Amino acid sequence: KTGALIVYTSADSVFQIAAHRRIVPVEELYRYSRIAREIMSGKHGVSRIIARPFDGEPGSFYR
């Protein structure tokens, strides 16, 4: 709705970044993931950064 990135984490130390493909191209989403990896290392480390592109319309999104 807003075009903003969706970011979330889980108890298993995984940071995920999701975005609709029509709003954020996949390559740009991957670039954001690389930036997040730089930030979330060392003191602010997480085990994995995952890019989650999705498509579709409200009520029927898919990855």
**Pair of tokens at residue 42:** 């060392």
Residue 43 has what pLDDT? 82
Distance between CA atoms of 36 and 40, rounded to whole angstroms? 6
Predicted TM-score (pTM) of the model is: 0.86
Distance between CA atoms of 20 and 6, rounded to whole angstroms? 9
Q: Measuring CA to CA, which residue among 4, 2, 12 is closest to residue 49?
A: 12
Question: What architecture (CATH level 2) is domain 6-54?
Answer: 2-Layer Sandwich (3.30)
Residue 33 has what pLDDT? 98
Residue ranges with strand state E in 1-63:
6-9, 14-20, 48-54
Tens digit of each residue's pLDDT (9 = 90 or more) over 23-55: 999 999 999 999 999 999 988 789 999 999 999
More confident residue, 10 or 50: 50
**Pair of tokens at residue 27:** 């390559």
> Is the confidence at residue 2, as pLDDT, over 90?
no
